[in-house]
Amino acid sequence: MVILHEFALSSASFRVRIALNLKGVEYKTKSYSLREGEQRSSVFLELNPAGLVPCLEIDGLKLSQSIAIIEYIDGRYPGPQLIPSDPAERAAVQAMALAIACDIHPLNNLRVLEYLEDEMGQSEQVRNRWYEHWVHAGFSALETIFQSQPERQFAAGDNISLADICLVPQFFNARRYNIDMAAYPRLLEISARASALPAFVRAAPVQPNS
């Protein structure tokens, strides 16, 4: 049995659900309330000492970090290839994905926002400005890259890839924070097209702003 330890609104967990769905892997989920600190319980820390979701139990392994998990899934199961084998194409896809997973998401992670609130005493208005700043910084760079490339169905071409798997959850979160994304038409188009695919629909936690 494949078990995904997660939090529904976690964009990293969202990524893994998408990948599992794309590969047709059957799995069960176990949810943890991040706001209540359940990911820091002794039970969860036995799964992942970092105290972060997601964690995937699979093939007798306990895997953490969404990008590493997706790479394992991609190599382990048949189906659409999510990370290209060609070195140049692989580097391009990983660069797009990591621009989100490393440059945007960590700065806007819940534990960072809670630290700004609890330890730094920052107001909700300031925290929202922080969140919006890093979203725009990351997406502005990606939009520039996408505008310089030929039009394509998805982030890296005509097939879904790891880049789309990272893009869609980050757009989802931006909408939850009511961030205006009109400045990123190419990213919006690609995200909307990917979001409509069944694997993405099934992975989505809730509709933004619902």
pLDDT at position 44, please? Answer: 93
Q: What is the pLDDT of residue 139?
A: 97
pLDDT of 210: 36
**Model pLDDT, residue 1:** 93
* CATH code that applies to domain 87-197: 1.20.1050.10
Say what the pLDDT of residue 109 is: 93
Structural domain boundaries in the chain: 3-76, 87-197
Q: How far apart, in whole angstroms, are the C-alpha atoms of residue 72 and residue 70?
A: 5
Give every residue of the chain whose pLDDT is below 70, as ranges.
Answer: 207-210
Q: Which pLDDT score is estimated for 151?
A: 87
The reported pLDDT for the residue numbered 209 is 41
Model pLDDT, residue 13: 98
Superfamily, domain 3-76? Glutaredoxin (3.40.30.10)
Query: What pLDDT, on a 0 to 100 scale, did the predictor assign at position 208?
Result: 43
